Amino acid sequence: MKAAVVTVSDRSSRGERPDGGGPAVAEALRALGYEVSHTAVVPDERSQIADAIRRLAASHDLVVTTGGTGLAPRDVTPEATRDVVEREAPGFGEEMRRRGVQTFARAILTRATAGTVGRCFVLNLPGSPKGAVECLGWVAEPLRHALELLRGGEADCANTTRK
């Protein structure tokens, strides 16, 4: 499956700080078997984030963002994502927060969300490379299932191993 990674960071988009989150997420996606065919860095601007998601969703199965999910005034990735997604999948953000607070109390502050744009799945991850990779790992299995469903697969609850 084809994936794209969008780093949301004012400083990285201006070249003031190297992008750590995007490369870490791309590497983690490749380790999970995804073909990462595009990476981008955009500033914390709602319209630019939404445009990048919309454009990449047209040619990818998965668009993952990293950054802009906190409470700082310029953290607008969840809002930009909601501007674009047709159906929200709140369980992904809920699970990342649930798992995250077990080791990092401030993980509760993330507002990450997820949803679909046509047959593409969009997932917000935190900006911290470590946090982003951990969160991706926690939702990797349901993410793969969501992508299978979007590609026309059927939900098979009877044959699903529950954890």
pLDDT in tens, 68-81: 999 999 999 999 99
Domains in the chain: ranges and CATH: 2-154 (3.40.980.10)
The pLDDT of 28-32, averaged and rounded, is 98
Check pLDDT > 90 for residue 156: no
pLDDT at 163 (0 to 100): 45
Q: Tell me how far apart the alpha carbons of residues 68 and 149 are, in angstroms, rounded to a whole number.
A: 28
The pTM score is 0.93
Q: Tell me how far apart the alpha carbons of residues 1 and 87 are, in angstroms, rounded to a whole number.
A: 20
Q: Which structure tokens are listed for 98?
A: 């649930």
pLDDT in tens, 13-26: 999 999 999 999 99
pLDDT at 162 (0 to 100): 42
The contacts of residue 121 (CB under 8 Å, 6+ apart) are: 61, 62, 63, 89, 114, 115, 143, 146, 147, 150
